[in-house]
Amino acid sequence: MDEFHLYIDGAFVPGAATFPSLDPATGEPWALMPEARAPQVNAAVEAAHRAFHGPWSRLTASQRGKLLFKLADLVQAAAPRLAQLETRDTGKIIRETSAQIAYVADYYRYYAGLADKIEGAHLPIDKPDMEVWTRREPLGVVAAIVPWNSQLFLSAVKLGPALAAGCTVVVKASEDGPAPLLEFAKLIHEAGFPPGVVNILTGFGPDCGHILTTHPKVAHIAFTGGPGTARAVVRNSAENLASTSLELGGKSPFIVFEDADLDSAANAQVSGIFAATGQSCVAGSRLIIQASAKDAFLAKLKAKAEAIRIASPQEMTTEVGPLCTQRQRDHIEALIEASVTAGATLITGGAPLPGPGFYFPPTILDCSTAPDAPAIKDEFFGPVLSVVSFDTEEEALAIANDTAYGLASGVFTASLTRAHRMIRGIRAGVVWVNTYRAVSPIAPFGGHGLSGHGREGGLAAALDYTTTKTVWLRTSDDPIPDPFVMR
């Protein structure tokens, strides 16, 4: 089997132990992954701390930008190899990994260009003998914790702004499917970043994640994952008082009005919930459809879902591949069973596919008469669409906001005025109108509630990795009078 290594202080090193990684298409082990424990985690944080106070701090912002530009070029050139690894280790189909990783290079280019544009400000202070200005300075060592799904993208939206801001980073890849991030370490090395600026680990919660997030030299924790783990991360941050940015799950509403282009909306809905086998934080997993259009729209969706080609993720013609893990498939199956028991109607799909691998078909559940079904509230993180209907715009908005999450949303309507009302009313960090799943390095991305806080993308992300220093400079040549002499 292939064997991967940790990347610590500019060197590729073994872990404290190894563990097998399974190919989701077969369920069989294909590679050995290094397990980081306390010695490796501590070594990575110490290396990042030394680099932050040493060679990295001596580079100008423009020099940091040039390294990021070089990294972007290397990512673009290595995209086919990285895509093959991600598909092998996570089951994400090759047509998605190929396109997404190639686009990741644009994120590094964006932050390369931004590195020397993170500015302070001169303040028009109310004291005539003072000049006052602010500086944006890097926070320090960042712990970036990345899940297995879209990991090269989800690491780029942390590494790019953190490095542009002048921070150093310890990346923890998920123990599920870490191969592409461990391979990505070779590009960091080739780009010429000073040792310790970027370190890449993988390992399990108690022996790796806990130690990393409580380490006294970690200044900021950037986490993507589920709300349950995020709560543990926040509790851990009480040990070092590290700031946090959390990009968590979602139960995103996908609202379709009767005046929408139903064919276009159906294509967007299929992409929004079945792309990446539904394993996406922004999956449009709640279809909120106007009752007058429900039957026609569900007929379109059912036909499209049942025509999706489910096959090996390595084939370019595959449209839906396997789930990443067996436990995820078990979770989805249990939620569907509970939802049907609660009164939801199964339109299509609903049961694991026979044979090897962790395959699950596109599934549609009509929950219009089952408002308490788990499918309405709980995140599946899989190819399962829950459907509810509405009559009025006010009702649609109330259903959309009836969630503890607040990450993404979609609105499909031909009415510009209605679109603006929905944009104002929906409580989510992202609203897509007559489109879905569009992203860009230029645009901030993030949510609120159980979907987390902080932003990834745009200038806002880079500022999350900085702190403000205020400088006071006295311009008078007169001596400061003795404050204890009465005049």
Residue 112 lies in a domain: yes
Let me know whether 152 and 270 are in one domain. Answer: no
User: What total number of domains does the chain contain?
Assistant: 2
Going 179 to 325 to 157 to 419, the CA torsion angle's sign is positive
Let me know whether 332 and 418 are in one domain. Answer: yes
Residue 481 lies in a domain: no
How many whole angstroms separate alpha carbon 462 and alpha carbon 485? 48
Q: Which of 422, 457, 420 is nearest to 439 (CA)?
A: 457
Give the domain CATH number at 404: 3.40.309.10
Please give the DSSP secondary-structure letter assigned to residue 351: S
Residue 18 lies in a domain: yes
Instruction: Give the contacts of 151 (CB within 8 A, at least 6 positions apart).
Output: 86, 90, 173, 174, 177, 178, 180, 181
Residue 485 lies in a domain: no
Q: What values do phi and psi take at 50, rounded to 5? A: -65, -45
Let me know whether 239 and 263 are in one domain. Answer: no
Instruction: Give the contacts of 102 (CB within 8 A, at least 6 positions apart).
Output: 76, 79
- 254: exposed, middle or buried (Cβ count in 10 Å: 0-12, 13-18, 19+): buried
**Residue appearing with tokens 């939801």:** 344
How many whole angstroms separate alpha carbon 96 and alpha carbon 318? 10
**Residue appearing with tokens 């559940």:** 365
Let me know whether 150 and 194 are in one domain. Answer: yes
Let me know whether 204 and 264 are in one domain. Answer: no
Let me know whether 216 and 284 are in one domain. Answer: no
Q: Which of 86, 96, 175, 247 is catalytic?
A: 247
Let me know whether 40 and 145 are in one domain. Answer: yes
Q: Decide if 247 is catalytic.
A: yes
Structural domain range at position 222: 2-247+457-472
Give the domain CATH number at 75: 3.40.605.10
**Residue appearing with tokens 């503890």:** 404
Residue 384 lies in a domain: yes
Where in 5-140 does DSSP place strands (E)? 6-8, 11-13, 17-23, 28-35, 121-123, 130-138
Residue 178 lies in a domain: yes
Residue 75 Cα distances to 37, 99, 101, 142, angstroms: 28, 12, 8, 22
Residue 17 Cα to chain centre, angstroms? 28
Let me know whether 184 and 239 are in one domain. Answer: yes
How many whole angstroms separate alpha carbon 115 and alpha carbon 122? 20
Q: Which of 363, 225, 360, 230 is nearest to 281 (CA)?
A: 225
Q: Which of 441, 450, 448, 445 is nearest to 426 (CA)?
A: 448
Give the type of residue at 255.
Answer: I
**Residue appearing with tokens 């209907």:** 389
Let me know whether 229 and 271 are in one domain. Answer: no
How many whole angstroms separate alpha carbon 358 and alpha carbon 310? 11
User: Which structure tokens are listed for 36?
Assistant: 């980081």
Digitized pLDDT (tens) for each residue of the chain, 487 residues in all? 899 999 999 999 999 999 999 999 999 999 999 999 999 999 999 999 999 999 999 999 999 999 999 999 999 999 999 999 999 999 999 999 999 999 999 999 999 999 999 999 999 999 999 999 999 999 999 999 999 998 999 999 999 999 999 999 999 999 999 999 999 999 999 999 999 999 999 999 899 999 999 999 999 999 999 999 999 999 999 999 999 999 998 999 999 999 999 999 999 999 999 999 999 999 999 999 999 999 999 999 999 999 999 999 999 999 999 999 999 999 999 999 999 999 999 999 999 999 999 999 999 999 999 988 999 999 999 999 999 999 999 999 999 999 999 999 999 999 999 999 999 999 999 999 999 999 999 999 999 999 999 999 999 999 999 999 999 999 999 999 898 987 6
How many whole angstroms separate alpha carbon 459 and alpha carbon 455? 9
Q: What values do phi and psi take at 427, rounded to 5? A: -95, 90
Helix (H) / strand (E) element for 222: namely strand 218-224
Give the type of residue at 68.
Answer: L
Let me know whether 181 and 320 are in one domain. Answer: no
Residue 141 lies in a domain: yes
Residue 200 Cα distances to 2, 35, 182, 185, 475, angstroms: 18, 11, 7, 7, 47
How many whole angstroms separate alpha carbon 282 and alpha carbon 97? 17
Q: Which of 109, 112, 115 is nearest to 76 (CA)?
A: 109
- Are 134 and 120 in contact, with CB atoms under 8 Å apart? yes
Let me know whether 308 and 288 are in one domain. Answer: yes
What pLDDT was estimated at residue 487?
Answer: 67
User: Which structure tokens are listed for 248?
Assistant: 């968590």
Let me know whether 71 and 90 are in one domain. Answer: yes
Cα distance between the two ends of the chain: 84
Residue 343 lies in a domain: yes
